[in-house]
Structure 1
Amino acid sequence: MRRLNLVTFVTAVSAFFFGSFFSKILSWVDQCPQHLSREYQKELYPKFFLVVLVLSPPRNAEQRNTIRRTWLQNANQLFYQPYLPEELIYLPTYSPDGHLQVELVEHQENRLRQYMEWRDNVLTSDLPKERKKRGWIKVKHVFAIGTWNISSYLQAELLKEEKQYADLLLLQRHHDTYGNLTEKLLQALDTLRYHYEFSYVIKVDDDTYVKLDNLVNELVSYDQKLLRQKSNYGHHPLPQLYWGYFNGRATVKTKGQWKETNYYLSKNYLPYALGGGYVLSRKLCEYIVNSSKILTHYVSEDVSVGTWLAPLRHVYRWHDPRFDTAYKPRKCQTYHMVLHKRNIKMMSDIYGGKLCSGINSSSLTAYYYDWSRTSEKCCDNLVL
């Protein structure tokens, strides 16, 4: 009988303390809903170093699947690689009048040569067989697709695709046509800016192949050096990255699907990174989105971005021949990092090690960009 009373007493005391503890937890929840909400949002929207934004039409499911099973796989395999030596990483400096100084052709040429030498040494050196992931580097990818005025069948297919992969950015207010690409980019950047924390975005088309491991390694190396030398910029704004393959001699199109009816600034487009792929820092994305209501929306999305960023004195326009992003591929080079106009077979071949799949020759020749000359002479220094 005494044993039974003892058991009852212990049970009652335990129930009392458990109930008090549980009530305390509930009171914390009632008192701190905002704190819990912030933590929940943080879990939903983690900080990413790079967001890969792929613009894709609704019907291009096969292209999206090819990208998922080829170069996007490298987003999950960002192993430790030797960082680029600091002397190979160029950081722009401000001139006495407060503008970023341009990178000279001679420096661009030396940098590409030194990169190739460094890369060849890395490939031939004995790297550890067991390599750990860079845990802090997070890469997020999304396929931006306009869904306005599409068939119910296509809507159902996209919802099925989203349920399977959870990587579609469905823009319900966007009619997905070529003439609306600029508006599509703006809506996509606005959504990314609102929902995610990130440092950089690379915008690509769904016929672009990206060597993500190489690109991220280069971008991380640049970003770390920039942060280490932040104090050197003093009262000047930190340079904001606009990285791609620039064109400054393209004449304004007056007919065809690229016809521009509102481009009155000059006979040539202002320098812009070709649309097959380019990188923007977060602050440039924010500037574009915040200013979108007062900016002129040109037909070509890449032309629009170049024109919008033209007046800013703190934009670092990094012209890089490793971006093969024109309207057709250039002669195949092992150093190419972003490769435009690659079909499904080419992407699979490249992922399997056949870099030059389908590329025999090309009339396009790579060039270094001479920022010190007029548009007619900007692109005459060929990469030999």
Structure 2
Amino acid sequence: MRRMNNLITLFSAIFAFFFGSFLTTIITNIEKCPSKTTVSKLDQNHEIFLMVLILSAPNYIEKRQIIRDTWLKTGGPLVQPYYPEDFVYVPDYDADGFLEMESVAEQSNHIRNYVDWLDGVENAVASRRYIKVKHCFAIGTKNLSPVLLGELKKEQKEFNDMLFLPKLHDSYSNLTKKLILSLEHLTNHESFTYLLKVDDDSYVKMDYLLNELVSFDRKLIRKSSGYKANPIPELYWGFFNGRAAIKTRGQWKEEHYYICGKYAPYALGGGYVISRSIAEYIDANSQILNTYVSEDISMGTWLAPLRNVYRRHDIRFDTGYMPRKCRRQHLVLHKRTIQQMKDLYEGKLCTFEVPNEHSLKRPLEYYYDWKKPADSCCNNIAA
């Protein structure tokens, strides 16, 4: 009888051990599994500081090459004086829990400070910094001809900077799907803090953009404990439009945008920066997000209800459908030809090759008034 009791005790102990191990494993796995429906905490231990996502068409080999030969080279090492954190605006929450965006006066003052800083860059003491940047050209490869696919594979073998999307037929109508698939891949396979989305006809002054982005990031880290119960702001940085009429014809026609009379405020598509958590949010919810024709309008609409998104409007992002007036303070310049990219890289500010330049009505450069309704957002024309 005693022997039987000992056996029962032994088996009970073994069962309890394995059951406890099994339960511990389940709990550990639950804790390790990231929740894709919540915004992650501020994490500055990412391997890559800035991930550059360049949306490119399969046959635009020359465009990709000029980008490699010009502005991608300006990303490092960074040899500039530190951009002063005093010039950087990091938002607070108001009493109702809404982020306080930069006022028109603050935006204007920031540009003046930046121009003054530019004037003194050459004579100031520079620091040499290695900031990890990685880029990729996203291309849909579904239904491509064997010849073109072979050329792309050859290009990939030489440069190893292509993000092939085999489930995507590369076309304008699929740009939103292209953005989603790109973000899905990058958030799951690359460790980055910020992401710059640009088109393959945009020129980016990577050194100046990086310098300021680093200062913003450092200041945000130092301020993070002060947000307490509020979520840490996530950056959405570009040139915003809040009064754009919904397109009803042409390749931009939106048949399903019926949530309001105009598009929700969005950063123009030539280039903008988002925090990693925004990319994760889109990846986590891609199955339930509406995909509109324009990927950039889609981005603005997806982020519209999120209270911790810091929409930073910046006139230094010349990212519209055609270039604005030439200004040396511009950081991202859209709709540039291969020759213009070469000129910019060589320090030539503006070499537009447009007939009747003086009679051309270029887009206006304005400061965004976040305190007014969207239809009155953009009346503060920059001098």
Coarse TM-score class (shorter-chain normalised): 0.7 to 0.9
Amino acid across the alignment from 1:51: M
In structure 2, runs of 5+ residues without a counterpart are 1-45
Partner amino acid, structure 2, of 1:204: V
Segments of 4+ moved more than 2 angstroms: 359-363
For 2:258, the equivalent position in structure 1 comes to 264
Confirm or deny that 1:225 pairs with 2:219.
yes
Residue in 2 aligned with 1:89? 88
| Structure 2 residue aligned with 1:77 | 77
What is the 5 A alignment of 1:188-203?
Answer: 188-203=182-197
The total of aligned residue pairs comes to 333
Matching residue of 2:174: 180
Which residue number corresponds to residue 365 of structure 1?
Answer: 364
Q: Map residues 288-299 of structure 1 onto 2, 5 A cutoff.
A: 288-299=282-293
Give 1:316's aligned residue: 310
Residue identity opposite 2:72 in structure 1? L
Aligned-partner residue type, residue 150 of structure 2: A
* Letter of the 1:96 counterpart: A
Distance 2:88 2:147 in 1: 49
Q: For each residue in 1:32-64, what CA deviation from the matched residue of structure 2 results, as whole angstroms up to 9, or x when unmatched?
A: xxxxxxxxxxxxxx8100001000000000000
* TM-score, structure 2 as length reference: 0.85
> How far off is 1:126 after superposition?
4.8
Asked if 1 retains the 8 angstrom alpha-carbon contact of 2:50 and 2:192, the reply is: yes
Q: Are residues 1:381 and 2:375 paired?
A: no
The equivalent residue for 1:156 is: 150
Rg (Cα) greater in structure: 1
Corresponding position of 2:19: none
Between the aligned partners of 2:102 and 2:331, the Cα distance in structure 1 is 20
SS state of the match for residue 318, structure 1?
strand
2-structure distance, mates of 1:50, 1:98: 29
Q: Which amino acid aligns with 2:375?
A: E
| Partner in structure 2 of residue 49 of structure 1 | 49
The counterpart of 2:330, out of the listed 306, 331, 336, is 336
Q: Per the alignment, in what secondary structure is the counterpart of residue 252 of structure 2?
A: coil
Q: 1:241 pairs with 235, 242, 247, which one?
A: 235
Give the one of 179, 184, 209 matched to 2:203: 209
Question: Could you tell me which residue of structure 2 aligns to residue 37 of structure 1?
Answer: none
The alpha carbon displacement at 1:355 in A equals: 1.5
- Which amino acid counterpart does residue 90 of structure 2 have in structure 1? L
Per the TM alignment, residue 121 of structure 1 is displaced from its structure 2 partner at its CA by: 1.8
Report the CA distance between 1:365 and its aligned residue: 1.6
- Check 1:344–1:244 CA distance in 2 against 1; reply closer, same or farther (3 A cut): same
Q: CA deviation at 1:74?
A: 1.3
Is residue 2:249 matched to residue 1:255?
A: yes
Q: Does 1:67 find its partner at 2:43?
A: no
Q: Is 2:319–2:334's contact at 8 Å kept on the other side of the alignment? A: yes
Cα separation, 2, equivalents of 1:110 and 1:363: 24
Deviation at 1:190, TM superposition (A): 0.5
Amino acid at match of 2:75: A
Residue deviations 1:329-349 (CA, integer Å, cap 9, x gap): 000000000000001000011
Q: What SS does the aligned partner of 1:229 have?
A: helix
1:76 CA drift (Å) = 3.2
Can you list the C-alpha shifts for 1:65-119, whole angstroms capped at 9, x where unaligned? Answer: 000000011123322x222222211010001111111211111111111111122
* Alpha-carbon distance between aligned partners in 2 of 1:126 and 1:383, rounded to the nearest angstrom: 28
Contact 2:365/2:382 (<8 A) preserved: yes
Contact map agreement 2:322 2:362 (CA 8 A) in 1 = no
Q: Percent identity?
A: 54
Describe the SS at the equivalent of 1:52.
Answer: strand
Q: Report if the CA contact (8 A) 2:101-2:312 is conserved.
A: no
Over residues 102-151 of structure 1, what are the superposed CA-to-partner deviations in whole Å (9 max), with x where a residue is unaligned? 2111111111111111221223x1546xx63x13x100000000000010
Equivalent residues of 2:368, 2:380 under 8 A apart: yes
2:103 is aligned to 104
User: Aligned to 2:49, what secondary structure does the other structure show?
Assistant: strand
2:294 pairs with one of 289, 296, 300: 300
1:172-208 CA-partner distances (Å, limit 9, x unpaired):
0010000000000000010001111000000000000
| 1:115-126 matched pairs, under 5 angstroms | 115-123=114-122, 125-126=123-124
- The answer to whether the 8 Å contact 2:323/2:362 transfers is no
Matched, 1:171 2:155: no
CA deviation profile, 1:216-254 (whole Å, cap 9, x unmatched): 001000000000111111111100000000001110001
Contact 2:75 / 2:210 at 8 angstroms: preserved in 1?
no
- Considering only aligned residues, what root-mean-square deviation do their CA atoms show, in Å? 1.2
